[in-house]
């Protein structure tokens, strides 16, 4: 299978570099300084004890890369509207899209068996253009449990974790083979991969942590370890996580994990700097809608109260707008 990693930042650059070094047939889409750096030097991956470099074909548009079977979409949710035409024009034949993104994706309620089946989420895809361009029957979802950053274009600094949970967004049979093949190739590339037929639940479980740690880190400029070390902030984060868990139950998701066990996963990752903090420090648009607004909207649709999430959304939205990180 020929892969194209669309977006060669932290997560996308890490996945692309590992696939390339494992011998997989992989190319990439990037823009600006990242495109130039990878053209000239490839992707440099730095961890505690090693620096490795991977080379791969890279272009500014998916439409310029032929024969792609699987697009690994590793961009910010805020960037998606500007990419739609390229995705629509570049997805040839029966190519599939594996989403390696944060938050609630556009395909979440498309073919979902829960109470919001087919309900469009204004916070994620207000006009339905994303679902029309890349429908759920072409999507492999994922929950990415790893941390990394991009200290400069074309460079990935590895943090912790290598786990990817992937699964088809719908029960459409053609996705099964593509999911198995992608899982096998990602394992060869060095990732710890689980395949699931309940990817919606896995995406929601990851969101338990993301919806709180990301905006809180933006507001405080603190890493996850610092956030959890403050007793009052720990309790507030736990309330946000608890509300998300309640919404998940209303959606039909079952889990034996407690709020504290979900917070322990964050502790185990160490003093990582959430992606929203990295974006805010770089002056980039932040993913408030996908990570937090979507959860608040789903809670409202289901009649589940979200007082802690409401407070965090209001604080984060005003802060981000005041600093030019969120549209007015």
Active-site amino acid positions: 206
Query: What gap in Å lies between CA 195 and CA 203, rounded to an integer?
Result: 13
Measured CA angle at 104 (ends 113, 116), to 5 deg: 30
SS3 214: helix
Residue whose token pair is 């999507």 = 139
| Sheet with strand 25-29: strands edge to edge | 58-59, 25-29, 2-6, 70-73, 96-99, 139-145, 163-168, 192-195
Question: Strand pairing partners for 53?
Answer: 44
Query: What gap in Å lies between CA 285 and CA 54, rounded to an integer?
Result: 28
Query: What gap in Å lies between CA 296 and CA 290, rounded to an integer?
Result: 10
Beta strands 58-59 and 163-168: pairing type?
unpaired
Quote the tokens at residue 249.
């139950």
| Sheet with strand 155-158: strands edge to edge | 51-54, 43-46, 155-158, 148-152
CA distance readout (Å), 196 to 138, 167, 181: 16, 5, 14
- Tell me the DSSP string of 54-86: E---EES-GGGS-S-SEEEE-S-GGGHHHHHHH
Measured CA angle at 200 (ends 194, 202), to 5 deg: 40
Nearest Cα neighbor of 222 from 272, 293, 152 is 272
């Amino acid at each position: 299978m020929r892969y194209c990693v669309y977006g060669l930042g932290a997560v996308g650059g890490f996945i692309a570099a590992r696939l390339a070094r494992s011998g997989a047939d992989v190319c990439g889409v990037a823009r600006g300084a990242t495109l130039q750096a990878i053209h000239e030097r490839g992707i440099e991956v730095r961890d505690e004890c090693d620096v490795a470099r991977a080379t791969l074909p890279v272009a500014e548009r998916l439409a310029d890369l032929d024969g792609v079977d699987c697009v690994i979409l590793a961009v910010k949710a805020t960037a998606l509207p500007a990419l739609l035409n390229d995705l629509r024009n570049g997805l040839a034949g029966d190519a599939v899209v594996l989403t390696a993104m944060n938050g609630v994706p556009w395909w979440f309620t498309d073919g979902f068996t829960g109470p919001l089946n087919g309900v469009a989420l204004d916070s994620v895809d207000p006009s339905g253009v994303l679902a029309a361009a890349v429908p759920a029957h072409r999507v492999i979802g994922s929950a990415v449990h790893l941390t990394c950053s991009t200290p400069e274009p074309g460079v990935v600094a590895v943090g912790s974790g290598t786990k990817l949970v992937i699964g088809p967004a719908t029960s459409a049979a053609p996705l099964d083979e593509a999911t198995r093949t992608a899982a096998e190739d990602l394992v060869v590339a060095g990732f710890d991969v689980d395949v699931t037929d309940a990817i919606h639940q896995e995406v929601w479980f990851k969101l338990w942590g993301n919806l709180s740690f990301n905006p809180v880190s933006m507001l405080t400029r603190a890493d996850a370890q610092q956030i959890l070390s403050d007793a009052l902030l720990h309790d507030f984060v736990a309330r946000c996580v608890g509300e998300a868990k309640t919404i998940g139950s209303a959606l039909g998701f079952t889990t034996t994990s407690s709020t504290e066990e979900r917070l322990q996963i964050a502790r185990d990752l160490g003093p990582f700097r959430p992606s929203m903090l990295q974006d805010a420090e770089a002056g980039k648009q932040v993913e408030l809608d996908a990570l937090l607004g979507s959860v608040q909207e789903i809670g409202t649709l289901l009649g589940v109260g979200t007082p802690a999430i409401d407070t965090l959304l209001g604080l984060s939205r005003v802060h981000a707008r005041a600093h030019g990180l969120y549209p007015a």
